[in-house]
Amino acid sequence: MKRPIIPHIGMRIVKTAVAVMLAYSIFAVLDLVYRKDYQGIWGMLGPNYACIACIVCTQSTLGQTLRQGVSRLIGVAVGGTLGVLVLLLGPVLDMPWVKALALGGVCVAGVWFCLLLKRPAACAMACIVPCVILITEVAGDDRFYYAGARIVETVIGVLVALLVNGVLPTNSRPEEPGGGAAGVQRVRLDNTARKLCVIGDPVEHSKSPLLQNTMIEALGLDYVYLCQPVPRGQCAQWLECAKFAGYAGFNATMPHKEELVPLMDELDGDAALFGAVNTVCIREGRAYGYNTDGAGFLRALASEGIAVAGSTVLLLGAGGAAKAVALKLSQAGAEAVYICNRTVEKAQELCALDPAGRLHPAGFDGETLKRLAAKADLLVNCTSLGMAGTAGQFADFSFLDALPRRAPVVDLIYAPAETQLLAQARARGHRTMNGMGLLIHQAVLSLEHFTGTNINPADMEAKIRAVMGE
């Protein structure tokens, strides 16, 4: 990658400059810039070590969160106490070898105390402050005034850095989709972290690692979520590998959802009804299969204020996604769901799975679409028509003219964010929704199964949409 001629000035540099200017200004306004005519500590106060503390705090890779700010204040207290105690050695401290031993001793002791308190962010200040106190030509009682002044200055610098970091934004350039610089998702990884992943063939395009790691980071969970290619027909081998490797579970995308069904020790109601598994939890060597697509779709509708009960739905497609959506719409109380598919026999097979008898098969020709659209309260596209990277597209959008204006139009496709179907519907005055909501809410439900954690779906949806630039 070619290096830019003019380097980008990051927010950390801006914060450092602002903190240093503010720290200096505090001392200048109070007229405390090493006034020799003042007595005691006041005469030795100045902005030097306050500015140094600002630089250390804002430039550190640890940053300056509230907890880290408190840790640094603890470090100042530990280092200041050690430095003052060593000053009690008196004139013997003027001997170079004694001072060298003292410096080494206070650094070791300062770090040890901070680690004992489980405050690693305090270690730097616990070393810097006593070194500043001890490396000086000041003698006699003035040494103690000098120590007090340095401690006060450093405390002010730490507080200024904490204030500046809290007031100014974190980044000076907008985050790219995917979170953080260059879309890197930062997840804490301990040796105790449990492994999760998504499998598919292909699977490298999956957004599941981004979504799941965003939630894992936000919730502070001790998990990590990966991407694992698994060839078609290899699910049985993968499941044994996952058990052996200690995976807590995994998600599955095409073409593995149906293949996993007979491999499960137990299936939840939706997975059994849909004949597809998209979430596998591994507990004590047993595999539990779930399907979160249908429930995720209902949650996505609810988050947009779209009612299902008593409605008439026009649903396009009869594949795996359509099966989960249609059967869940029936469970949620939709009065009628018309399944329109080019191969009517496939739509009939889907409708036969509905014990409530609310699903009705239909063709995909223009006249049928217009007739059913005229009485629909909701239109849902479950086909791949309009998806990025595919050649398929609707031949005609005139059926939208028959759709009542009140009826929302939902497309399960999320790439592109607005398909031609949604654009045409929006131009006709309809509310529109893409597939991002389903993607998010099924992922939230999956993580709840994996971890046993109750997750606020609205909070997670907001965080994920922000990371993805929605």
CA 138 – CA 300 distance, rounded (Å) = 69
Q: Tell me whether residue 243 is one of the annotated catalytic residues.
A: no
SS3 110: helix
CA 132 – CA 60 distance, rounded (Å) = 19
CA 229 – CA 215 distance, rounded (Å) = 22
Which of 207, 257, 323, 463 is labelled catalytic? 257
Q: Which residues pair with 316 in a beta bridge?
A: 340, 381
Residue 400 is given by DSSP the state G
> Are 248 and 450 contacting, i.e. CB atoms less than 8 angstroms apart?
yes
> Are 330 and 294 contacting, i.e. CB atoms less than 8 angstroms apart?
no
- ∠ Cα 215 216 220 (to 5°): 115
Cis peptide before 202 (omega within 30 of 0): yes
Q: In angstroms, what CA-CA distances link 201 with 198, 223, 260, 415? A: 10, 24, 14, 18
Residue with tokens 């500015």: 51
> Are 329 and 306 contacting, i.e. CB atoms less than 8 angstroms apart?
no
The dihedral through the CA atoms of 230, 233, 234, 237 has a sign that is positive
Tokens coding 236? 């049985």
Within 8 A by CB and 6+ apart from 120, the residues are 71, 114
- Which of 53, 47, 11, 9 minimizes the C-alpha distance to 31? 47
Tokens coding 417? 């964010």
Catalytic residue list: 257
